[in-house]
């Protein structure tokens, strides 16, 4: 869930803290504050403790962006799978906008680009590494189920993997290493 509200810094599991971060939401600056990368979420706290938190399952992409033709400053670039601002650029107080959204609107929940621009550009790499480590603690459930399906194979009662017709079969158990001692016809 994404929360735009008054909040203080996270209290547990902080992997990286970076002061003097200017945050941009869809290229709109929100101000200068402190970025906290914790094991549970990414939080930015600005003046008067105004800020937001992003939970990792909503972070679709994070990367270091150095392409100044796309944005005028090097930054930690995130794409999240919810719309944080409405069409006028006003921050939403809930992650998905109105509760009146119908099923068709669910496919168009939107996305938001977030850029964390540190005053000290050498902080980008440690910020990215911390973000990657914490993101790895929250794998996408769809990716996990895909991997589990790939790992599941059907076996017969002897523990031999069942194969489809025309697929390679297991080697004969009578032959060492599946190799035949008969000469091949040339």
DSSP annotation string for 50-86: EEEEEEGGGEEEEEEE--TTTSSS-EEEEEESS--B-
Cβ contact 169:163 at 8 Å = yes
Nearest in space to 74 (alpha carbons), one of 124, 33, 113: 124
State yes or no: pLDDT of 144 exceeds 70: no
**Two structure tokens written together for 5:** 């509200």
Of 104 and 80, the structure prediction assigns the larger pLDDT to 80
Second CATH level (architecture) for the domain 2-139: Roll (2.30)
Least-confidence region, from 63-67, 84-88, 134-138 = 84-88
The whole-model pTM stands at 0.66
CA 148 to chain centre: 19
Query: Quick one: DSSP state of residue 147?
Result: H
**Which pLDDT score, from 0 to 100, does residue 122 have?**
97
Structure confidence at residue 80 (pLDDT): 94
Work out the pLDDT band at 99, boundaries 50, 70, 90.
very low
Say what the pLDDT of residue 110 is.
85
Give residue 74's pLDDT.
97
Residue 182 DSSP one-character state: S
Q: For 12-48, how does the pLDDT look when each residue is reduced to its tens digit (9 = 90+)?
A: 899 999 999 999 999 999 999 999 999 999 999 998 8
Identify the band that residue 162 occupies on the pLDDT scale cut at 50, 70 and 90.
Answer: low
Q: Where are the domains of the chain?
A: 2-139
Could you tell me what percent of the chain has a pLDDT over 90? Answer: 47
User: How far is residue 32's CA from residue 24's CA, in Å, rounded to a whole number?
Assistant: 10
Q: Are 40 and 84 in contact (CB under 8 A)?
A: no
124 near 64, Cβ under 8 Å?
Answer: yes
Q: Average pLDDT, whole number, for the chain?
A: 76
In this structure, of 13-22, 78-87, 142-151, the range with the lowest mean pLDDT score is 142-151
Q: What count of other Cβ atoms lies within 10 Å of the Cβ of residue 141?
A: 9
Q: How far apart, in whole angstroms, are the C-alpha atoms of residue 12 and residue 92?
A: 26
pLDDT above 50: residue 103: no
Q: How confident is the model at residue 66 (pLDDT cuts 50, 70, 90)?
A: very high
8 Å CB contact between 80 and 110: no
- Higher per-residue pLDDT: 168 or 42: 42
């Amino acid at each position: 869930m994404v929360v735009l509200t008054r909040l203080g810094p996270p209290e547990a599991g902080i992997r990286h803290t970076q002061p003097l971060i200017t945050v941009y939401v869809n290229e709109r600056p929100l101000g200068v504050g402190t970025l906290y990368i914790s094991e549970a979420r990414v939080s930015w706290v600005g003046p008067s403790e105004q800020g937001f938190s992003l939970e990792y399952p909503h972070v679709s992409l994070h990367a270091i962006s150095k392409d100044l033709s796309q944005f005028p400053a090097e930054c930690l670039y995130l794409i999240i799978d919810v719309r944080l601002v409405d069409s006028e650029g006003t921050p939403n107080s809930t992650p998905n906008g109105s509760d009146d959204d119908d099923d068709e609107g669910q496919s168009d929940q939107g996305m938001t680009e977030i850029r964390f621009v540190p005053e000290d550009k050498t902080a980008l790499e440690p910020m990215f590494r911390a973000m990657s480590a914490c993101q790895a603690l929250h794998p996408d459930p769809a990716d996990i189920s895909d991997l589990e399906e790939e790992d599941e194979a059907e076996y017969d009662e002897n523990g031999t993997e069942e194969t489809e017709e025309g697929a390679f079969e297991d080697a004969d158990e009578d032959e060492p290493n599946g190799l035949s001692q008969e000469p091949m016809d040339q």
